[in-house]
């Protein structure tokens, strides 16, 4: 096994090895960065098995029966919270959701004390959503060894389950990653989704990954992640197989980065006309919720090339897959002790 | 099968046929209006079977095991939400409750996008509560065919499960509807409960249905629904078998419709003395929560003729009945495809 | 059986017999006061059996399957609410949590009407947390006989499950109570936890129970509960086997009782140096959340003598124990009717 302990513990360079057991099984799911391609493919394969479940008469899998999953949402996200809750329920886990904004932390308790206390309640898994980068890693580092941590979005850093549901959606339509040209359009600078997608796409050996955005919304040095940068939408869309639109994070945008929503749409909005620049069978993705008329035209969002709702369905399956993998990682580790 | 598509799609004239499958089974439960009497009786019969459940050692029915029920409460209602949650849990469904006031809709997502996204999470049933009339119908119209929608109250329009639990309570005490005189007292104008009760009572061939209220609280043309209007409380109560008091919806009342709570009580409050005007075995009903001393005297609310708490218990049984019926309606429809 | 009906119904003198069935089994769990020592020991013994559960592959006990537990939290407490929710879930109960601050009571409904309505939903158990003393007793008195009430903290009065998890923690480390010297340090005046601990410790025949606090934080006449009062921290700690630190309830403290947090810590904070005054194998307890540097030094809270996190784990087991006992008390009573 690799040992990344020498790396600095800034959010940009966290030791990816800490999310694997000594046998290389998934123990936490914090970031895509550093995970081997086979492991990503195992997530996709498992998720596909779960996709059939809801249509069966008996669609409750007893895999996590007797396990306790705690949703720790320091930042509000109804949709992500629900998909994790549903995933855990369908695996028969006990689920408790903690809206931390209203909890003991408001009584002055530190994050570390909160985590220690929740851990002491015989919890098996934390789902963590936080507005600051690195919090899921922090919790994984300091919680007891029998607990797995799943990152449900941390600051501008990572949102790995979102990236994997996107990969699943791409694979369902395009089969193989190496021949593909994939473009990510929008606010790359503030997007944990984009960061995780780039890691996943490059790990899966995607032919070309582009980021398409105004200069003000592209982080410095992003080329080092293995992507090509386009500031012109038309040039960036040319010949793409997959177009991933990002949500314009109005609540994250700081003044002055963009002139107006209208101008943004005129320059980077995905219209039917622009869509024709991509391959004729290109698929259009978006993590939701969609700002219609801001980053994407309604006719494209609802059009035949849009796979946006399929992404949502895939989200539950991917989360079920990751949950079962970290729990079996735990079981293996314990049987080896 | 009837085809009501020619009707206008205003809340007052929605196509009732859209809530039935082609075989006449219940698929959605949006309004009482237009449902055949036999179907209402089937709801009552099923509910009576469930009423015995909680006293048994094993009171979990596995009917909805593996199904996902989503409570979509755009308007707050603790009591109604809890009875639906409990009904779904007792049928072994997975239940997720979404307080929409705090969800993605606040991020600017449209209702239609919210529904499409939730539908994509492999949901089987939406329970919808909304402050605007017609929202449950709207959702039923635009959600995928495998999802059933239950109206848990929409604006001033309908509250069909409330009406059916009232019918169950009446039947438990009075056996047959045709010989009965039933009076509904209070704010008819703003009451979705009253509207649904009138539809249910007339469908079940109740002998006489009266509405009793000041002129300002009676909608124009209500006589066309088959009711007799009384503005005098004493005359209205005369010889009644069933007295249904409505909650004075303080939060809905707009200025000027009523002089004061005290004057309302003096004219329309149900006192022990006024109760004597009805039949000696008349039952007193109220959908709750009760405003004691405003629409009803405490001695009547807690008296021997009050069946208010029985209504609450019946509420869970009726909701279990409707949930099982729409799910078996779904199953039949799918097997026919 | 005792009959305490002659006692006054103030929170300080509630009839403890009302929480026992005629056969002496636990029916409600409202206060430690007046409960026989054997019953407290049965709670501890049952809790120890549950402590092994989470490590087993199949850790769901079906004891409360088909039962409905309602969490009624009139006062916010994330931690206590979660431990009760988890305890009920692990016993396979249906659980509904009601944040009463946002419920019908805000529509003007009385507490009694709320309780009657919830009772009518075929509920089996109420978990009650309220900022006013005596509310759990009030509910137990007026709810139907088939419902059990568990007090999860009422005003300054009692927090009996917290006291029992503390007793379990002490017994795990010290085996027997009679030889022990136990000190409770801090805001005794405003602490329901202290009150319940004192009842539990004296019922279990603890050798000596001390309360250690400034005069302003000690209620008048507390010596009558069988405790020794110390205003000097050093003298109070001398030779203790168990040190129970209380949380400084900042939100409850009224102006003028204490000069400053810093001065409080300098006089009553538990430091490593002061800890040496107790026995060398003394354990340090705290109900949480901890105010580090106010009532306790971090090195002590995280030190080898601290059992604070063990208390948290014990909390779920004790609540499972009490839940199963009140439900079997119910069953016995019903079979005798």
% of chain A exceeding 70 in pLDDT:
86
Give the mean model confidence (pLDDT) for residues C180-202.
96
ipTM of the complex model: 0.86
Closest Cβ–Cβ partner in A109, A119, A121 for C86: A121
Contacts of A66 in chain C (CB under 8 A): 54, 56-60
Give the mean model confidence (pLDDT) for residues A299-309.
97
Please name the helix (run of DSSP H) or strand (run of DSSP E) that holds residue B312, with its range, or none: helix B308-336
Distance between C124 CA and the closest CA of chain A, angstroms:
20
Residue A29 DSSP code: B
Residues of chain A with CATH 3.40.50.1370: 11-155+313-336, 160-306
What is the band of C252 on the pLDDT scale with cuts at 50, 70, 90?
A: low
Q: What is the pTM of this model?
A: 0.89
Which tokens in the block code for residue B147? 């999802």
Q: Taking a C-beta distance cutoff of 8 angstroms, is the pair A141, A111 a contact?
A: no
DSSP E strands, chain C: 68-73, 94-99, 125-130, 148-154, 181-185, 208-212, 228-230, 242-245, 283-285
What is the structure's pLDDT at A6? Answer: 31
Contacts of A56 in chain B (CB under 8 A): 66
Closest CA to A57 of B124, B319, B27: B124
Angular region, C273: left φ>0, alpha ψ -120 to 50, beta rest: alpha
Give the mean model confidence (pLDDT) for residues A290-307.
95
What is the structure's pLDDT at B336? Answer: 45
What is the band of C76 on the pLDDT scale with cuts at 50, 70, 90?
A: confident
Distance between B51 CA and the closest CA of chain C, angstroms:
10
Closest CA to C158 of C7, C309, C14: C14
Q: Are residues C289 and A120, on separate chains, in Cβ contact within 8 Å?
A: no
Contacts of A57 in chain B (CB under 8 A): 66
% of chain C exceeding 70 in pLDDT:
86
Q: What average pLDDT does the structure give for chain A?
A: 87
What is the structure's pLDDT at B201? Answer: 98
Residue A101: pLDDT over 80: no
What is the structure's pLDDT at C8? Answer: 31
Interface mutation vs chain A, best among B107, B126, B335, most A CBs within 10 Å = B107
Instruction: Enumerate neighbours of C (3 or more CB pairs within 8 A).
Output: A, B
Distance between A53 CA and the closest CA of chain B, angstroms:
9
Convert B95-113 to b/e letters by CB count within 10 Å (16 or more is b).
bbbbebeebbbebebebeb
Which residue intervals of chain A are DSSP H helices? Answer: 37-51, 78-90, 111-119, 135-142, 160-174, 192-203, 233-237, 261-268, 272-275, 298-301, 308-336
From A144, which residue of chain C is nearest by alpha-carbon distance? C309
Q: Taking a C-beta distance cutoff of 8 angstroms, is the pair C68, C93 a contact?
A: yes
A266 vs A263: CA distance, rounded Å: 5
Distance between C169 CA and the closest CA of chain A, angstroms:
13
What is the structure's pLDDT at B10? Answer: 40
What is the structure's pLDDT at B211? Answer: 98
Model pLDDT for residues A153-194, shown as the tens digit of each residue: 998 889 999 999 999 999 999 999 999 999 999 999 989 999
Which tokens in the block code for residue A294? 């801001």
Diameter over CA atoms, chain B: 60
What is the structure's pLDDT at C137? Answer: 93
C212 vs C205: CA distance, rounded Å: 19
Closest CA to A59 of B330, B92, B65: B65
- Higher per-residue pLDDT: A272 or B4: A272
Helix axes C308-336, C160-174, angle to 10 degrees: 120
Residue with tokens 């005369």: B238
What is the structure's pLDDT at C185? Answer: 98
- Higher per-residue pLDDT: B54 or C134: C134
- Got the DSSP string for B156-216? TTB-HHHHHHHHHHHHHHHS-STT-EEEEES--TT-HHHHHHHHHHHHTT-SEEEEE--GG
Contacts of B114 in chain A (CB under 8 A): 289
The CATH number fitting domain B11-155+313-336, selected from 3.40.50.1370, 3.40.50.720, 3.40.50.740, 1.20.120.1200: 3.40.50.1370
Give the mean model confidence (pLDDT) for residues C17-22.
87
Distance between B123 CA and the closest CA of chain A, angstroms:
9
What is the band of C337 on the pLDDT scale with cuts at 50, 70, 90?
A: very low
Q: Are residues A316 and B68, on separate chains, in Cβ contact within 8 Å?
A: no
C109 vs B250: CA distance, rounded Å: 13
Distance between B107 CA and the closest CA of chain A, angstroms:
8
Non-local CB neighbours of A206 within 8 Å, separated by 6+ positions: A177, A178, A180, A182
Give the mean model confidence (pLDDT) for residues A291-313.
95
- Higher per-residue pLDDT: B183 or A77: B183
From A101, which residue of chain C is nearest by alpha-carbon distance? C78
Q: Are residues B102 and A289, on separate chains, in Cβ contact within 8 Å?
A: no
Contacts of C292 in chain A (CB under 8 A): 110, 113
Closest Cβ–Cβ partner in C66, C113, C121 for B82: C121
Residues of chain C with CATH 3.40.50.1370: 11-159+314-332, 160-312
Please name the helix (run of DSSP H) or strand (run of DSSP E) that holds residue B152, with its range, or none: strand B148-154
What is the structure's pLDDT at B251? Answer: 62
Phi, psi of B17 (to 5 degrees): -65, -20
Residue A48, judged by CB atoms within 10 A of its CB (0-12, 13-18, 19+), counts as middle
The CATH number fitting domain C11-159+314-332, selected from 3.40.50.10490, 3.40.50.1370, 3.40.190.10, 3.40.50.720: 3.40.50.1370
- CATH class of domain segment(s) A160-306: alpha beta
Q: Are residues B79 and C108, on separate chains, in Cβ contact within 8 Å?
A: no
Give the mean model confidence (pLDDT) for residues A109-131.
90
Residue A26 DSSP code: B
| Digitized pLDDT (tens) for each residue of chain B, 337 residues in all | 333 333 333 444 446 678 999 889 999 999 999 999 999 999 999 999 998 765 554 467 788 988 999 999 888 788 889 999 999 999 999 999 887 765 555 456 788 888 999 999 989 999 999 988 899 999 999 999 999 999 999 988 899 999 999 999 999 999 999 999 999 999 999 899 999 999 999 999 999 999 999 999 999 999 999 999 999 999 999 999 999 999 987 765 656 677 788 888 999 999 999 999 999 999 999 998 898 999 999 999 999 999 999 999 999 999 999 999 999 866 655 544 4
B71 vs A17: CA distance, rounded Å: 40
Model pLDDT for residues C89-102, shown as the tens digit of each residue: 999 999 998 877 65
Model pLDDT for residues A27-53, shown as the tens digit of each residue: 999 999 999 999 999 999 999 999 876
Q: Taking a C-beta distance cutoff of 8 angstroms, is the pair B121, A82 a contact?
A: yes
Model pLDDT for residues C205-236, shown as the tens digit of each residue: 999 999 999 999 999 999 999 999 999 999 99
Which tokens in the block code for residue C117? 């309505």
What is the structure's pLDDT at C263? Answer: 87
Non-local CB neighbours of A248 within 8 Å, separated by 6+ positions: A186, A187, A261, A264, A291, A294, A295
Fold classification of C160-312 (topology level): Rossmann fold (3.40.50)
What is the structure's pLDDT at C333? Answer: 53
What is the structure's pLDDT at A76? Answer: 77
Closest Cβ–Cβ partner in A78, A85, A316 for B122: A316
What is the band of A9 on the pLDDT scale with cuts at 50, 70, 90?
A: very low
C321 vs B101: CA distance, rounded Å: 38
What is the CA angle A13-A19-A23, rounded to 5? Answer: 130
- Higher per-residue pLDDT: B249 or C88: C88
CB atoms within 10 A of CB C308: 23
B283 vs A282: CA distance, rounded Å: 66
Contacts of C116 in chain B (CB under 8 A): 309
What is the structure's pLDDT at A18? Answer: 84
β-bridge pairing B228-230 and B208-212: parallel
CB atoms within 10 A of CB C141: 15
- Higher per-residue pLDDT: A46 or C14: A46
What is the structure's pLDDT at B155? Answer: 87
């Amino acid at each position: 096994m690799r040992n990344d302990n020498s790396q600095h513990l800034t959010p940009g360079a966290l030791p990816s090895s800490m999310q694997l057991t000594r046998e290389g099984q998934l123990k936490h799911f914090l970031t895509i960065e550093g995970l081997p391609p086979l492991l990503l493919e195992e997530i996709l394969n498992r998720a596909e098995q779960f996709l059939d479940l809801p249509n069966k008469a008996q669609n409750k899998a007893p895999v996590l029966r007797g396990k306790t999953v705690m949703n720790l949402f320091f930042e509000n996200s109804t949709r992500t919270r629900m998909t994790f809750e549903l995933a855990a329920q369908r695996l028969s886990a006990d689920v408790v959701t903690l809206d931390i904004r209203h909890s003991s932390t408001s009584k002055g308790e530190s994050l570390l004390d909160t985590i220690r206390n929740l851990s002491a309640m015989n919890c098996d898994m934390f789902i963590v959503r936080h507005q600051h980068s690195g919090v899921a890693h922090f919790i994984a580092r300091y919680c007891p060894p029998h607990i797995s941590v799943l990152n449900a979005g941390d600051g501008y850093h990572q949102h790995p389950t979102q990236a994997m549901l996107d990969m699943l959606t791409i694979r369902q339509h395009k089969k193989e990653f190496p021949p593909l040209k994939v473009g990510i359009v929008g606010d790359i600078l503030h997007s944990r989704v984009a960061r995780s997608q780039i890691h996943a796409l490059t790990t899966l050996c995607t032919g070309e990954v582009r980021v398409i955005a105004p200069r003000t919304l592209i982080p410095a040095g992003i080329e080092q992640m293995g992507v090509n940068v386009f500031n012109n939408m038309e040039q960036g869309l040319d010949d793409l197989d997959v177009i991933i639109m990002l949500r314009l994070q109005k609540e994250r945008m700081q003044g002055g980065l963009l002139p107006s929503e209208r101008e943004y749409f005129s320059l980077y909005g995905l219209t039917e006309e622009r869509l024709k620049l991509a391959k004729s069978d290109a698929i259009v993705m978006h993590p939701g919720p969609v700002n219609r008329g801001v980053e994407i035209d309604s006719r494209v969002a609802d059009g035949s090339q849009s796979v946006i709702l399929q992404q949502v369905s895939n989200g539950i399956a991917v989360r079920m897959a990751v949950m079962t993998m970290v729990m079996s990682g735990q079981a293996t580790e314990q049987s080896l002790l």
